[in-house]
Amino acid sequence: MDKLVSRLGAETRLPPPADPHICAGTLLSREQYLHDVERLGYVDGRLTTASTMTPDDVAVWTEAIPARQAEAEGEETVAHTGAGLGTMVAGHPSTP
C-alpha cells in the first residue's frame, strides 16, 4: 500500500500531459459540440476515459439527432420565423 501511495504522490506532482484538444462538451450535449469534433479536430470526450462509450455507441447516439435523421431521410426543414409572421419552408416564405 505504501508503494502505491508513493507512486500516486509522484504522479500528482508531475505536470499534466500535453493537451490533445479534448472536447468535453460532447459529454453534456450530443449535438451542440459536434462542430468542434467534426470540423475543428477536437477529440470527442465520449471516446476518452471520462466515458464508457464505444465508437459504435457514439455513432448511434449522434445519428439519433433529429436534424441528422431529417437530413438522412431527405426531409425539408421548416424554420419558424415567429408567431403570426409565417414560416419558412425550404427557403420560401409562406403564410399560416
48 touches 22 (CB < 8 A): yes
**Domain residues for 13?**
2-94
Task: Report pLDDT for 76.
Answer: 52
Separation of alpha carbons 32 and 27, rounded Å: 10
Strand-pair category, 22-23 with 43-44:
parallel
Tens digits of residue pLDDT in 9-41 = 888 887 767 777 999 999 999 899 999 999 999
| Least confident segment among 14-23, 40-49, 73-82 | 73-82
**Sign of torsion over alpha carbons 29, 32, 33, 34:** positive
Q: What is the mean pLDDT of the chain?
A: 79
DSSP code at position 32: T
For the chain, how many structural domains are there in total? 1
The three-class DSSP label of residue 44 is strand
